[in-house]
Amino acid sequence: MSDRIATAVPSVPPVADELGRAFADAGFELHLVGGSVRDALLGRAAWEDLDFATSARPEQTLELLERLGTTTWTTGAAFGTIGAMFQGERVEVTTFRADQYDRVSRNPIVAYGDTLEDDLRRRDFTVNAMAVSVPEHVFSDPFDGRGDLARRVLRTPATPEESFADDPLRMLRAARFAAQLEFEVDADVRAAMTAMSGDLSRITAERVRDEFVKLMGAADPVLGLRLLVDTGLAEVFLPELPALKMQIDEHAQHKDVYEHTLTVVRNAVALEDGAPDVVLRIAALLHDIGKPDTKGMGTDGRVTFHHHELAGARMAKRRLRELKFPKEQITAIAHLIALHLRFYGYGRGEWTDSAVRRYVTDAGDELARLHKLTRSDVTTRNKRKAARLAADYDALEERIARIEEEEDLARVRPDLDGNEIMRLLGVPPGRVVGEAWQHLKEIRLDRGPLSRDEAEAELWRWAKERGVLPDAGE
């Protein structure tokens, strides 16, 4: 494959040539650039994204695209980018850039360039600094990006120090591309990332979050995560991860909790049955972050981490809020972390049907992910133990399926609803109704579905004991 990349010129989609002719007729250059060129050379995608660089200024680009009868949008106009739907394809056209940074603020000061090479020099990595002119199909690669693709290495067009000083987010991008493309990072780039990792604090939480999410959705996120920890970048925005390095796993089967965690992430990736599940992957990454704060020593001399799942859920909520994750994702990830140990003990035969109902009910919409996270957490090298735990979880899933055939476990409700409770007790809406409803739900979880008479008897019994109706049921 490396020989093919070293000599290949990517084929160009007809729609790009059509747009190129329109720009050429108007006296402007137009070039396909960036990740779309890289991926075409790698054979990874058939031009899913059409990103162009042009000598036209944004207002000229907008006028030309509107004249072509396309739908346009200008949300990126401040940075020189005009978006459009051209012949059914989504395209983005950006004026040649020669960005300037004051190296203090969090955003670039946009300055337009005059040449394609200037534009390519300001890009993050050489593998993203290639271009194909349209409609001429002249391939431009002033920084040997094609050679780096063949060598599977990440370098910067300018010096790494200059590139990262201009935009520290590029250091996080290096980790993301390492995970996404499964490339090595050039030694000079890695050294600059280590020396300049603290500069990442200049970047807004939202931009850091977006890159981190892309990294976690990559083909092998562990490659990127190791790079983040080894260079000190993780200390800046996710210090809970490197903190795991010095914690000894209580099973004494792994070098440390850090290595165990990376294995759990890889296990979770392997259990996915479709598109990358970033919520599951982040839950796997953070599932043990409560261990450093809960480390203790048992009477037998073994290391313990009592209730680390609850501490970890709280820590995950706090960290993900700081990174501006959506509320629903924070809730899901913290919920998975809090529940990830619930399964242990099932194999000892201690679980009743009531315990199974509660497991399913407590997991709620996250049950499928909880299954995967729990299985991923089994990283013991003891093959007999691993087989036993897998068999135990198989048995639990089969038991859940059996009970679900008899009951709707996904929607466990009391056998009497609020209106029936109010009618039977003769009370208005309020606290009493809610408490009665919750009591009947607990009975439902413990015993399964009740008959109408049984449910009413339980309601009267509860009401009498609570003094809601002193003569209830008599």
Where residue 419 falls among pLDDT bands split at 50, 70, 90? confident
Where residue 91 falls among pLDDT bands split at 50, 70, 90? very high
Whether 404 contacts 411, CB under 8 Å: no
Whether 156 contacts 124, CB under 8 Å: yes
Where residue 7 falls among pLDDT bands split at 50, 70, 90? low
Task: Using the CB atoms, write b or e for 59-72: b if 16+ within 10 Å.
Answer: ebbbebbeeeebeb
Could you read off the pLDDT of 236-259 as tens digits, one per residue?
999 999 999 864 545 554 448 999
Instruction: Return d(Cα 359, Cα 353) in angstroms, integer.
Output: 10
Structure tokens at 182: 């499964």
Instruction: Return d(Cα 32, Cα 135) in angstroms, integer.
Output: 10
Structure tokens at 385: 């133990």
458: amino acid identity, one letter: E
Among the listed ranges 84-88, 287-291, 402-406, which one has the minimum average pLDDT value?
Answer: 402-406
Could you read off the pLDDT of 404-413 as tens digits, one per residue?
776 655 556 6
Half-sphere exposure of 169 (CA within 13 A, CB side): 19
**Phi, psi (rounded to 5 degrees) for 380:** -60, 145
User: What's the mean per-residue pLDDT of the chain?
Assistant: 87
Where residue 56 falls among pLDDT bands split at 50, 70, 90? very high
Structure tokens at 125: 């990595």
The pLDDT of residue 376 is 95
**Phi, psi (rounded to 5 degrees) for 32:** -70, 135
Averaged pLDDT, 157-180: 95
Whether 282 contacts 317, CB under 8 Å: no
